[in-house]
Every structure is written in C-alpha cells, then in structure tokens.
Structure 1
C-alpha cells in the first residue's frame, strides 16, 4: 500500500467520523484522490470506527472503576493502620 493509499484511507476514516453518507464520501475521495473506494471497504472502516468508540467508552468505564477500587483500597489500608496503632 503506497502513501497515497494510506492517506486515502485516513481521509475516508475522517469523513466517516463526520458521519457523512457513503455517496458524499465517494464523491470527496474522487475529487481529492481521483478514485473512490468500495462501499464494503467504507463499511469495514465504519465498523472499525464504531468498535474503537466502544472500546474507548469501555476503557473510560474501567478507568473509573479502577480509581474507585484504588480509593477503597487506600481507605481500607488507612483504617487497618489506625487499628494496629
């Protein structure tokens, strides 16, 4: 895959994130790169984008959960230190 192919894919991903219809994405790609991209490829890129968004949301959720458990751990540790004194 050449540099222009990589740029084309990244540009298509950007347009997908903007939630443009495939027809407009194809038109934009043709204007910018001289050719479009198969709708199947665009669908796969859109699916990857959805998966990335889902994983980011899950990651945020897990980070919050981790922060909560750390807080509980340190509170418990502090309580145990006070009891042993």
Structure 2
C-alpha cells in the first residue's frame, strides 16, 4: 500500500459537490496517488523533473491535479462533476 496521500487546494474546492462525487473523487485520487508512488519510487529524494498539470476522468468525474513528488502527494486543483 502506498504512503502517498492526496489533498485539494483551495480548501473550498469540494463545496457543493454531492456525496457520490466526493466518494468517487476519493477513490480516483487514491488510485492516482498509488500509481504515482510506483512511478516516482524515490519520493522525497526525487531530484528530477516533475509532471505538470494533468487531467484524469472517470464516469461523470473529471479532475485536474499536480503531483508533488517530494511531498509524496497529489494535489487536486479542479473538480468537474457532470451529474
């Protein structure tokens, strides 16, 4: 299991989203964090380039996120729910 985490920025990013959207976001963000932990194995010791803004979608959910390799986390910066 990955020790990587996820968070969102800004703090009110999830305001107004229905519970099903937040649950799907949690599942997707955990999967992305796990995948990135397998790509960037050195984590905090990483000294190379990092990916820029990326997007991923699943069903009615689309997210934009950044991978903060050195902090071993992903940061969700935009959420779109087509519900």
Q: What TM-score results when the alignment is normalised by the length of structure 1? A: 0.32
Structure 1 or 2: larger strand share? 2
Which has more radius of gyration? 1
Q: Give the structure, 1 or 2, with the largest relative contact order (CA under 8 Å, sep 6 or more).
A: 2
